[in-house]
């Protein structure tokens, strides 16, 4: 699979901690994020926040390069998670649901 979207339920009271973790990655550890994406053959990684009355969720979307175009194994391979990230995930994530891809389109050059 080249495209994946996960719906992750955040544990009660842990949304702000997860948001702080993501902001820290963006501000001070983006090089580590790019290195991990390269190992996983991921070219797009997006995290959305869905606030709800009963629970907050994140939608975690990844897109991998077509096989053979990049190094790595692709987003459907075993995901590398460093110990600090694994700790935050254990503390903040409650449950994970893989969402079904109904339609995915990547714009291709018209002369191809």
Q: What is the mean pLDDT of each run of 10 residues along the chain (112 residues)?
A: 90 97 92 88 94 97 76 49 86 97 81 62
> What CATH code is carried by the domain that includes residue 78?
3.30.70
Choose among 101, 43, 32: nearest CA to 74: 43
Please tell me the predicted confidence (pLDDT) of residue 10.
98
* Residue 45, domain member (yes or no): yes
Please tell me the predicted confidence (pLDDT) of residue 67.
66
The number of domains in the chain is: 1
- Please tell me the pTM assigned to this model: 0.78
* Residue 94, domain member (yes or no): yes
* Residue 111, domain member (yes or no): no
Residues 25, 67: Cα–Cα separation, whole Å:
27
Domain assignment of residue 19, given as a range:
3-98
């Amino acid at each position: 699979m080249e495209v994946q979207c996960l719906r992750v339920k955040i544990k009660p009271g842990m949304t702000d901690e997860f948001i702080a973790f993501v902001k820290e990655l963006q501000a001070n550890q983006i090089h580590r994020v790019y290195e991990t994406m390269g190992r996983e053959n991921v070219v797009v990684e997006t995290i959305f926040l869905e606030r709800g009355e009963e629970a907050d969720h994140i939608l975690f979307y990844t897109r991998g390069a077509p096989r053979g175009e990049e190094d790595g194994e692709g987003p459907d391979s075993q995901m590398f998670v460093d110990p600090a990230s694994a700790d935050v995930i254990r503390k903040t994530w409650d449950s994970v649901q893989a969402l079904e891809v109904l339609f995915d389109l990547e714009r291709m050059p018209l002369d191809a």
